[in-house]
Chains A and B, each alone.
Chain A
Amino acid sequence: MATGNPVEILLVDDDAGDVEMTRESLKNSKLHVHLSHVSDGQECMEYLRRTGKYEEARKPDMVLLDLNMPRKDGRQVLEEMKKDQYLKKIPTVILTTSGAEADVNQTYDLGANCYIKKPIDFEQFKKVVNEIADFWFTVVKLPNGDN
């Protein structure tokens, strides 16, 4: 990724509060982040496949995915993404309230890149969100996005 271009993060979450918290958290990020948001799995797939109202959407550099959402949940999104040649390389971080072992196991089985339980405390939440961004965009070597 060339320096100067903003990092594209797609947040998939049906909870307005969480969206606000994530936005607020990334405000002080040392990265130049552009956060887009969709509120359920169906919209997420439309966004990723640039269909419907998302024709102009940019391919995200990372997806922050909630698990429990209306219409199409995070597990289904993950399954579809990881089966799709074009989408499967996008790092997908599960960010959810659930700490259930079944959810953790299932999503890793489906190919999630990591699973994070949303911390209760806002300061910690902020720290986690920024650490996710820093890790994936400054520490990790990612495949070239155009492949």
Chain B
Amino acid sequence: MKNVDFHTDPRLFEHAVESAPNAMIMVDAEGIIILINKQTENLFGYTRNELISERVDKLVPVQFRDKHPQHRDNFLHNPATRSMGAGRDLYGLRKDGTEVPIEIGLSPVKTEDGFFVLASIVDITERKKAEEEIIRSNQELEQFAYVASHDLLEPVRKIVGFTQLFAKSFDAPIEGKSEEYMDYVIDGAKRMQVLIEDLLQYSRAGTTELDFQDVDLNVVLQEVEENLELSIKETNAEIRYNKLPVIKAHKSFMVRLFQNLINNSLKYRSDAAPHIEIYANQKTREWEFVVADNGLGIDPEHAQRIFIIFQRLHGKSEYSGTGIGLAVCRRMVERHNGKMWLDTSSDRHGSTFKFTIPFEIV
């Protein structure tokens, strides 16, 4: 904490306040305004004379006035530079009676006459608007996702269902070319269904509201192993991990993330039974996770492409899937402010994916 000492040069201090880019207001311990700058006049619509020696409550909307002296007392008992009302929406009251969303930084100022509080006030109207715009467009995306999941799938289901019923409606079984064409119709429609559902999953990974809690990744992996039990048994896979950390994360994303990665390792396996190793490295500000397998591996030249939605490295007939898994993974990692990449640094067999999750997700 750096206190300004009036005695060294009071005019320098006043000059600094006057030319500050933000509205600045200094009040005494009783909440009386003793100094303001030009920006304060602009923000609140009062002239300097109308504010000096007045109670600062004049600038506080009525519904917040009751609590204000209490907050000021708390600050004076525990003075430190900080922002005001963390987590609460703050508003200022203009002369014309309108309210303006603001952000306030508080600094204690020590003088011979005791403590004063210097408040630096930023008008956040524009930012609020932008935030509301983001919320609105996210809601629209959610709406779109719902329409996609329901309304787009309906007709697809009809195509499949009635093509099958159509075929049955003949006295003789459908054969030859007719059967082949019918299979194309059904396959195409089923593929459309998978694409719609995958697109939806990708969209949800971007818009789902996150709930960061302590997540034990050992528990997450147990859940993943249960979900993939069948394929793990079928491929004789061995998944190794021990003592993974408990991290701050959105749990269902962690399950999906590890599940997609392990599922890829099982799917793109070599002739040998899959060996998948998962471990965590503790870095300065984040965890780095490594998921390494002994499978087919990925040519480093495709290191970027694999994370793009609907990009595939294999023909449809070789491997099923739409190419959504890694795009969803990266998106979920990014929602945690982490990064995800294909590690191409070692020439070992198989592929190694790495991703980071910060200790503190801001």
Report which A residues bind B (CB closer than 8 A): 15, 17, 20-21, 24, 68, 96-100, 118, 120-123, 125
Contacts and interface: CB of A to CB of B under 8 A. Distances in A.
B52 interface: no
A98 B160 contact: no
A144 B18 CA distance: 82
Interface stretch (B146-154, B172-180, B284-292): B146-154
B162 A97 contact: no
Interface of B: 146, 149-150, 153-154, 156-158, 160-162, 164-165, 189-190, 193, 197
B150 A122 contact: no
A97 B161 contact: no
Contacts of B158: 17
20 contacts: A21-B161, A21-B165, A68-B150, A97-B149, A97-B154, A98-B146, A98-B149, A99-B197, A100-B146, A100-B149, A118-B157, A120-B156, A120-B157, A120-B189, A120-B193, A121-B164, A122-B160, A122-B164, A123-B164, A125-B161
A17 B154 CA distance: 10
Contact of A97 (B157, B160, B189): B157
B149 to A, nearest CB: 6
B146 A17 contact: no
A24 B149 CA distance: 25
The 3 closest A-B pairs by CB, nearest first: A122-B164, A122-B161, A98-B150
A120 B165 CA distance: 13
Specify which of B146, B153, B156, B157 lies most central, judged by the most chain A CB atoms within 10 Å of its CB.
B157
Contacts of A122: 160-162, 164-165
A100 B145 CA distance: 9
B192 to A, nearest CB: 10
Nearest to A68: B150
Given A118-B157, A120-B157, A122-B161, A97 B150 contact: yes
A120 B190 contact: yes
A97 B165 contact: no
B156 to A, nearest CB: 7
A96 B193 CA distance: 15
Contact of A121 (B146, B154, B160): B160
A15 to B, nearest CB: 7
A121 B165 CA distance: 11
A17 B149 contact: no
Contacts of B162: 17, 21, 122
Specify which of A98, A118, A122 lies most central, judged by the most chain B CB atoms within 10 Å of its CB.
A122
Given A17-B158, A120-B190, A120-B193, A97 B153 contact: yes
Contacts of A100: 146, 149-150
B150 A17 contact: no
Given A100-B146, A120-B190, A120-B193, A17 B153 contact: no
A21 B165 CA distance: 9
Contacts of A17: 158, 161-162
A98 B154 CA distance: 9
Contact of A15 (B149, B154, B164): B154
Contacts of A24: 165
A120 B188 CA distance: 12
A100 B197 CA distance: 11
A122 B160 CA distance: 7
Nearest to B156: A120
